[in-house]
Amino acid sequence: MLADPGPFHVSRPGCGAIVPSGDGHPLYCRNAATRAGLRHFPHPAPGEVYLVFTCDQHADQAEATRLLLDRDRAELERRRDQRATVEPLAVGAAARALVARAVRYYETQGIPRTP
């Protein structure tokens, strides 16, 4: 799991990273999404994991990131078109287990976690 992942917008139809601005107010990253990954939020309990999208620069803000697949592009389009509510992929212990399985899979396949 990410040690200190920082703020992130899970339903954003692009990179979900939130970055500081010159005046101290947070802004959404304006880069296009190039990767999909998982983001675990332990609070509020019992915790949730979401499919999220990042740019290459912020790929370290998600677990088990990979280049976008056709199904990811379809999900990004759905989020753009419908301003869709994004539901967690898993909750509680199942969320932690999902992230652990994804990370293990990418490690055993020799797929780099970040660009």
Would you state the pLDDT for residue 115? 46
pLDDT along the chain (115 residues), means of 10: 70 89 85 94 84 93 92 92 83 90 82 56
Would you state the pLDDT for residue 31? 94
Would you state the pLDDT for residue 46? 81
107 to 29, 44, 48, 66, 101: CA distances (angstroms): 28, 29, 22, 12, 10
14 to 3, 36, 43, 74, 108: CA distances (angstroms): 23, 10, 23, 12, 28
Residue 115 domain-assigned (yes or no): no
Domain of 77, in residue numbers:
18-108
Would you state the pLDDT for residue 114? 53
- What's the total number of domains in the chain? 1
